[in-house]
Structure formats: C-alpha cells, structure tokens
C-alpha cells in the first residue's frame, strides 16, 4: 500500500518556486495539494545557494509588478515572528558608469513610475553615506530603490511551507517522482519511489530536472541549466548587514553585505552551461568546483569602487545550476498537449526573488478562466510547435545569462 496520500494537485519540487506556488495556491483557497521533494528537506538544491537579492527595478512593467508582488509577500511573511524569510529591506543602489546606462536608468525609472514603484536618483555623496567605504565618484547616475533588499532563501522556503501547511497543504520529502500516469491525454497520477499518488494536476517545479519531468509526459522544453556562482569574503571590518544591495551592471557585478563580510557575484561573458539530456531524472547535473579565475575577476573588477576588495580573501563559494530559457522568460502555466500538466520553471536566475510572483502567476493560469495576456505569454505552449533546436536553445540561454545586466534597447 502507498505510504502517501492522493491529492488534487501534486507539486514536484520543493525549491522556492514549488513552495512559493503551494503558498499562492493555498492563499487562493486551493489546499488539496501534496508537494513532493526528492531531497530530505525543502530548498536543498539551487534555492539554498541563492544570494537572496530581491530587485524590483526592471525593464518591463509586468516584471516590475511581479517583483513588487514578491516584495509585498515577503513583507507580509516577515510579520510572523516564528517563521519569516529574514527579509531585510535595505534598499538598493544601481550604479551607471557610462552615458548609455544613464539613459537606460531613465527608461527603467519611467517604468518604475508607471508601476507605482518608488525610486529616486541619488548623488554620490548621499550614496556614500548609505554605503560607507564604497567609492561612487565614477558613477554617472545612481538609482535608489528604497523597498528592495535581500532575504535568506532557506528561510523564505520554510516560511512558505509553514504558512501553506497551516492552510492544509501536505509535504512529503525523500519522495522522488519517477513517472507520470496519463489516461486519454490527461494526467491521472504520479509514480514515486514511495508509491503511487492519484491526482488531477501535476505542477512541474523541479528546477534543473524540470526538463526531465516534462519529458515524462512527452514534452520537450528548452530548459537550460547555466552555472552561476558568487563568493563571500573573509571578515571585513565596518560592514553590517543593513547596507543596501549594489548592482553595477556595467561591470556585470552585484554586491551585498553579510555579517562582517562582503558577498560578490557576477555574470560571466562565457558561462558554462549543460545539456539536461546528459543526466537522468534520477541523477544530478555535473558537480561544480569553484572557478577561481572567474571569482577573482569579480573581485578585481570591484577594486576601483571598493579598494578593500584587493585584500579580501574568499571564505566561501556558493554555486549551482539555475535554469535559463532561450527567450529569457519564465515557463509558466498549463500545457495544451497534456491536460493537467502545468509548468513552473525556467526562472532565469530569478526563482527566489520571483517565487511569490511566479507562484501567483501559476495560480492565475490554473484558476482564472481568462488569465492576463502577460501570463498567457509565459505559457509552455510557445515552445511546443516552434522550430527551436537544442544547440540554438543553449546558445541563446547562455547569451541571456551573459547579458543579464546587458544594456536594454529603447
Ligand atoms: C549562486 C546562485 C545565486 C543566485 N542568486 C539569486 C538571487 O540572488 N535571487 C534570485 O531570485 N535567484 C537567485 N538564484 C537563482 C535561484 O536560486 C533559482 O532561480 C531558484 O532557486 C530556482 O528555484 P526552483 O524551485 O525552480 O529550483 P530548485 O531550488 O532547484 O528546486 C527544485 C527542486 O526539485 C526537486 N526535484 C527534482 N527532481 C525531482 C523529482 N523527480 N521528484 C521530486 N523532487 C524533485 C529538487 O530536489 C529541488 O529541490 C541564484 C542561483 C545561484 C546558483
């Protein structure tokens, strides 16, 4: 006899996206949900590695609103003294080092204004008062967003679980999905290593295994794992965790403080990526060793802005395989080929900060008779009959990664 219960909805994957989706569905009143996670705890894979940066200033109004929804959710969850995401609303500073970037900031600020997101330009002097030790004299423009910040990804995921659990969502860790059962083109269940589960809907939130889970129902989706890493420095005097997050897109760098330490990450021009055909559903993507050359370049590029970076040793390196898509957009919502099969993946390294907004969009795609045009545009169906190829998909995903902070066109 199966050890686990049947449910109307099974979510495969207990990262930030799966748990955020469970939470948003539960808020919408949908609580007959079982989330299964193959590891012994939630947030054990990519989500655990994330820097937890939450930025709302984006290049489209929809992405800005999605991020604003996430921030609202994190602020709500932070009110719970027992389980909260350790959300620190430090604000963020976005620094332009050339004139084209200044123009991009103007476009981004106009989008923020339309979305109702508070932003303002700061002088280098005011920025320095917020982040002592950082040299802003080269800045051509500094855009401040007071409601940005960062959180602890594990705490966020645990908070989603706690709140959705209180509403009736069930969780089963150490439970790996192995097959999806279908009848007449509809999902009817999931076979796991703990036994079968009957369900009407499967939500695929399996991160770097979302490709394999989609394959189980005969769908080929371009979900490309691309390596990402950052380092935390050895103790650095004078830094406290309440300093604002800094993004310097012209150097492809992001920075935040940790307790007495600096966190530095960036987007490499030639990122490593892997082909999910090369590992199995029951296996893992290739192991990642810290790439000291890449990490040292992040530190070197930071020295003109933060001279202390030249002496800072590396205490620890965080790394993983976030997934990217060829068009840089999430893959969210039901699939037309298999009824009851729903995607929640292809997060393009926004899966922690975007998790609440992504979860909300998944809920909308499932529960609303007519989801918004934006949510419809994220549908997995955009890849079902197009003529994409794997080499092109991988090259495009790597380009999206490399140009993460690239200049957007007017
Ligand atoms: C170094 C680094 C820094 C990052 N920094 C940020 C950041 O600052 N902000 C941000 O928003 N994002 C950041 N990201 C990206 C972010 O981590 C990802 O977008 C996010 O974690 C994706 O969440 P997920 O739930 O889709 O995937 P995951 O966290 O990988 O979760 C997927 C889960 O599915 C489970 N699973 C897989 N197969 C099965 C199966 N067969 N049965 C059951 N369970 C299964 C896995 O075990 C895993 O727990 C960073 C990523 C890295 C690597």
81-96 per-position pLDDT tens digit: 999 999 999 999 999 9
202 and 340 Cβ atoms separated by less than 8 Å: yes
Mean of pLDDT values over 381-389: 87
Q: Domain of 42: which CATH number?
A: 3.50.50.60
With a cut of 90, say whether residue 8 has pLDDT above it.
yes
Examine residue 369 and state whether it is found in any structural domain, yes or no.
Answer: yes
In the chain, the percentage of residues whose pLDDT exceeds 90 is 94
CA torsion through residues 291, 297, 302, 307, sign: positive
Are residues 239 and 379 both part of a single domain? Answer: no
Are residues 194 and 135 both part of a single domain? Answer: no
182 lines ligand 1 (CB under 6 A): no
247 lines ligand 1 (CB under 6 A): no
Examine residue 235 and state whether it is found in any structural domain, yes or no.
Answer: yes
Report the pLDDT value the prediction gives residue 407, as an integer from 0 to 100: 87
Q: How far is the CA of 304 from the centre of ligand 1 (A)?
A: 33
With a cut of 60, say whether residue 271 has pLDDT above it.
yes
Model-level pTM greater than 0.85? yes
Domain end: 278, 296, 321, which one?
321
Examine residue 3 and state whether it is found in any structural domain, yes or no.
Answer: no
Report the pLDDT value the prediction gives residue 409, as an integer from 0 to 100: 79
Task: List CB contacts of 287: < 8 A, sequence separation 6 or more.
Answer: none
Q: State the total domains in the chain.
A: 2
Closest C-alpha to 366, from 22, 17, 12, 43: 22
237 and 331 Cβ atoms separated by less than 8 Å: no
273 lines ligand 1 (CB under 6 A): no
Instruction: Looking at the CA of residue 347, tell me the nearest atom of ligand 1.
Output: 19
Residues in the chain, overall count: 410
pLDDT in tens, 347-360: 999 999 999 999 99
Considering the chain, what is the average pLDDT of its residues? Answer: 96
Q: Residue 57 gets which letter from DSSP? A: -
Instruction: Looking at the CA of residue 47, tell me the nearest atom of ligand 1.
Output: 21
pLDDT in tens, 324-344: 999 999 999 999 999 999 999
352 lines ligand 1 (CB under 6 A): yes
pLDDT in tens, 29-74: 999 999 999 999 999 999 999 999 999 999 999 999 999 999 999 9
Q: Residue 405 gets which letter from DSSP? A: T
Closest C-alpha to 63, from 271, 348, 265: 348
Are residues 232 and 314 both part of a single domain? Answer: yes
pLDDT class of 2 with cuts at 50, 70, 90: low
Instruction: Looking at the CA of residue 18, tell me the nearest atom of ligand 1.
Output: 25
Examine residue 71 and state whether it is found in any structural domain, yes or no.
Answer: no
Closest protein CA for atom 6 of ligand 1: 50
pLDDT in tens, 132-174: 999 999 999 999 999 999 999 999 999 999 999 999 999 999 9
Closest C-alpha to 190, from 369, 36, 54: 36
Q: How far is the CA of 32 from the centre of ligand 1 (A)?
A: 24
Domain end: 296, 321, 346, which one?
321
- Give, for ligand 1, the residue of 41, 46, 199, 356 to mutate: max count of ligand atoms closer than 8 Å to Cβ: 46
Which runs of consecutive H residues, i.e. helices, occur in 144-188? 153-166
316 and 383 Cβ atoms separated by less than 8 Å: no
CA–centroid distance for 55 within its chain: 11
Domain end: 287, 304, 321, which one?
321
With a cut of 90, say whether residue 1 has pLDDT above it.
no
Examine residue 291 and state whether it is found in any structural domain, yes or no.
Answer: yes
319 lines ligand 1 (CB under 6 A): yes
Among 2-6, 373-377, 390-394, which is the least confidently predicted range?
A: 2-6
Examine residue 336 and state whether it is found in any structural domain, yes or no.
Answer: yes
Are residues 192 and 340 both part of a single domain? Answer: yes
Examine residue 198 and state whether it is found in any structural domain, yes or no.
Answer: yes
210 lines ligand 1 (CB under 6 A): no
pLDDT in tens, 218-262: 999 999 999 999 999 999 989 999 999 999 999 999 999 988 899
Report the pLDDT value the prediction gives residue 385, as an integer from 0 to 100: 73
Q: How far is the CA of 322 from the centre of ligand 1 (A)?
A: 6
321 and 122 Cβ atoms separated by less than 8 Å: no
Closest protein CA for atom 52 of ligand 1: 50
Are residues 297 and 387 both part of a single domain? Answer: no
208 and 56 Cβ atoms separated by less than 8 Å: no
Task: List CB contacts of 241: < 8 A, sequence separation 6 or more.
Answer: 88, 90, 257, 258, 259
Are residues 303 and 317 both part of a single domain? Answer: yes
5 and 171 Cβ atoms separated by less than 8 Å: no
Are residues 159 and 39 both part of a single domain? Answer: yes
Examine residue 64 and state whether it is found in any structural domain, yes or no.
Answer: no
Q: Domain of 279: which CATH number?
A: 3.30.9.10
Report the pLDDT value the prediction gives residue 312, as an integer from 0 to 100: 87
With a cut of 60, say whether residue 304 has pLDDT above it.
yes
Tell me the C-alpha distance between 15 and 360, whole Å.
15
Helices and strands of the chain, counted as H and E runs = 11, 21
pLDDT class of 410 with cuts at 50, 70, 90: confident
212 lines ligand 1 (CB under 6 A): no
Are residues 341 and 363 both part of a single domain? Answer: yes
70 lines ligand 1 (CB under 6 A): no
Three-state DSSP state, 230: strand
Tell me the C-alpha distance between 45 and 50, whole Å.
10
Are residues 136 and 183 both part of a single domain? Answer: no
∠ CA 222-408-211 to the nearest 5 degrees?
10
Report the pLDDT value the prediction gives residue 350, as an integer from 0 to 100: 94
Q: How far is the CA of 401 from the centre of ligand 1 (A)?
A: 16
User: What does R_g of the chain's alpha carbons equal in angstroms?
Assistant: 21
Report the pLDDT value the prediction gives residue 4, as an integer from 0 to 100: 84
Are residues 307 and 244 both part of a single domain? Answer: yes
Tell me the C-alpha distance between 87 and 30, whole Å.
26
Instruction: Looking at the CA of residue 323, tell me the nearest atom of ligand 1.
Output: 19
Supply the range of the domain harboring residue 269: 91-148+225-321
Are residues 370 and 302 both part of a single domain? Answer: no
Are residues 293 and 230 both part of a single domain? Answer: yes
Instruction: Looking at the CA of residue 39, tell me the nearest atom of ligand 1.
Output: 47
């Amino acid at each position: 006899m199966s050890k686990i219960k049947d449910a109307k909805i099974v979510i495969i994957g207990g990262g930030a996206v799966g748990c955020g989706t469970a939470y948003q569905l539960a808020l919408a009143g949908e609580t007959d949900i079982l989330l299964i996670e193959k590891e012994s705890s939630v947030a054990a894979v990519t989500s655990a590695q994330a820097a937890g940066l939450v930025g709302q200033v984006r290049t489209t109004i929809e992405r800005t609103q999605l991020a604003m929804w996430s921030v609202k959710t994190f602020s709500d969850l932070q009110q719970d003294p027992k389980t909260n995401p350790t959300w620190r609303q430090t604000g963020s500073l976005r620094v332009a080092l050339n004139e084209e970037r200044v123009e991009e900031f103007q476009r981004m600020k106009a989008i923020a204004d339309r979305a109702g997101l508070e932003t303002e330009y700061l002088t280098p002097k005011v920025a320095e008062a917020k982040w002592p030790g950082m040299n802003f004299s080269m800045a051509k423009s500094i855009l401040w967003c007071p409601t940005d910040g960062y959180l602890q990804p594990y705490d966020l995921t645990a908070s989603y679980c706690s709140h959705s659990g209180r509403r009736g969502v069930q969780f089963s860790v150490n439970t790996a999905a192995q097959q999806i059962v279908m009848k007449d083109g509809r999902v009817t269940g999931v076979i796991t290593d703990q036994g079968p589960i009957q369900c009407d809907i499967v939500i695929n939130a399996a991160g770097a295994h979302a490709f394999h889970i989609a394959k189980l129902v005969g769908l080929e989706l371009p979900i490309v794992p691309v390596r990402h890493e950052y380092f935390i420095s050895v103790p650095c005097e004078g830094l406290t965790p309440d300093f604002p997050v800094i993004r310097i897109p012209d150097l492809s760098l992001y920075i935040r403080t940790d307790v007495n330490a600096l966190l530095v990450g960036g987007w490499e021009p030639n990122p490593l990526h892997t082909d999910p055909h090369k590992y199995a559903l029951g296996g893992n993507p290739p192991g990642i060793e810290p790439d000291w050359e890449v990490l040292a370049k992040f530190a070197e590029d930071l020295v003109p802005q933060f001279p202390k970076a030249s002496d800072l040793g590396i205490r620890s390196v965080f790394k993983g395989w976030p997934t990217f898509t060829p068009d840089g957009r999430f893959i969210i919502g039901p699939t037309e080929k298999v009824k009851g099969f729903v995607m929640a993946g292809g997060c393009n390294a926004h899966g922690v900060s975007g998790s609440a907004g992504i979860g909300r969009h998944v809920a909308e795609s499932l529960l609303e008779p007519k989801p918004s045009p934006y949510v419809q545009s994220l549908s997995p169906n955009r890849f079902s009959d197009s003529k994409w190829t794997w080499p092109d998909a991988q090259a495009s995903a790597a380009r999206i990664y490399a140009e993460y902070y690239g200049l957007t066109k007017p």
